[in-house]
Chain A
Amino acid sequence: MWKWLHPYANPEVSYHFTGKILPWLGALATLFLSIGIIWALAFAPADYQQGDSFRIFYVHVPAASLSMGIYFGMAIAAFTSMVWQFKLADASAAAMAPVGAIFTAIALITGAAWGKPMWGTWWIWDARLTSELILLFLYLGVIALHNAFEDKNLAGKAAGILTLVGVINLPIIKYSVEWWNTLHQGSTVSKLGKPSMSIDMLWPFVFCFIGFALLVATIICIRFRSEILTRNSIRPWVRTLVSEHLSKHIAQEKNNAI
């Protein structure tokens, strides 16, 4: 397995590999998301208690669980880079941080817009909401550290330490609804084996979740490729790639002018 994995540790190979899978990821994300969102907005039944406000669920829950999933991925990358000095892992952690921050923000905002009609308040300092807000600040700290140093290895190390310290927040978010009395409702989907959701609500959720996950993968791929280029800008393969790209671009502009 290690022999098979080894070539992907090469920045050039992973740059071209991600470039190849990127259009497929994007197309699949569009497909799943358009099916899932239309299903969720127009065809899924309204909740018997929460009415049509329940449709916020189809964005809120995928965004919230992806915000934690991306953080977990970032922590694995930070650990890999720290233990094995594996530089590509730093690039992928730097690519994940902004995506995670945006999905945390989406989880918080959609949660507020759901909380207002259901609980009567946009925000409350309870365990689930507060720990998710801390996750947002962790992401912002990681992004700031990645950009704070000219030397990308140093930046990766600093951001990696913060990432690994922040992992403690993940179980707190996950189990906050069980450990403390909170206004936030318990989980609907992830009850093992038996989701407490009717089938005609579960299917649109599955489509939305897969769609958002693919979208996250797509955006991370795009950012990962930029990170690879900036970190390897003096390598010969980047130089030829850039000059080829620019000459193609200039030719295109000439054609447009004509």
Chain B
Amino acid sequence: MQFDSFSAFLNMGGYGFYVWLSFGVSAALIAGLLFSSLTSHTKVIKQIGARQQRENKLRQVRKNRQNSTTNNPNEETQ
């Protein structure tokens, strides 16, 4: 251990501001990057899922429409 007390550790031999500024900014930037990378991964999965559900719904609607026209072919002509 290079420091006698906790306050000496914070003081960093007079360079405390610069040392803690460097380490603080680095930690904050890395934490931000890590956080955004993790959340964007779940966001991508959700986006793909949402698009998939929309496509499924569209397909369902189209199928229903097709079924209704094939089941009652005379409906419109009558």
> Which residues of A come within 8 Å of B, CB atoms?
37, 41-46, 51-53, 55-56, 59-60, 63, 98-99, 102, 105-106, 109-110, 113-114, 116-117, 215, 219, 222-223, 225-226, 229-230, 233, 238-239, 242-243, 245-246
Contact = CB atoms under 8 A, between A and B. Distances in A.
B18 A53 contact: yes
B45 A55 contact: no
A222 B46 contact: no
Contacts of A51: 13-15
Contacts of B22: 56, 59-60, 109-110, 113-114
B45 A242 contact: yes
Contact of B52 (A43, A117, A226, A242): A242
A230 B44 contact: yes
B61 interface: no
Interface in B10-37: 12-15, 18-19, 21-23, 25-26, 29-30, 32-34, 37
A53 B33 contact: no
A106 B21 CA distance: 11
Contact of B44 (A60, A63, A105, A229): A229
A215 B37 CA distance: 13
Given A219-B37, A229-B45, A233-B51, 17 more contacts: A42-B1, A43-B1, A45-B2, A52-B14, A52-B15, A53-B18, A59-B26, A106-B29, A109-B26, A110-B25, A110-B26, A117-B15, A219-B34, A222-B38, A230-B44, A242-B52, A246-B49
A228 to B, nearest CB: 10
Given A45-B2, A242-B48, A246-B49, A117 B33 contact: no
Contacts of A110: 22, 25-26
B52 A55 contact: no
B69 interface: no
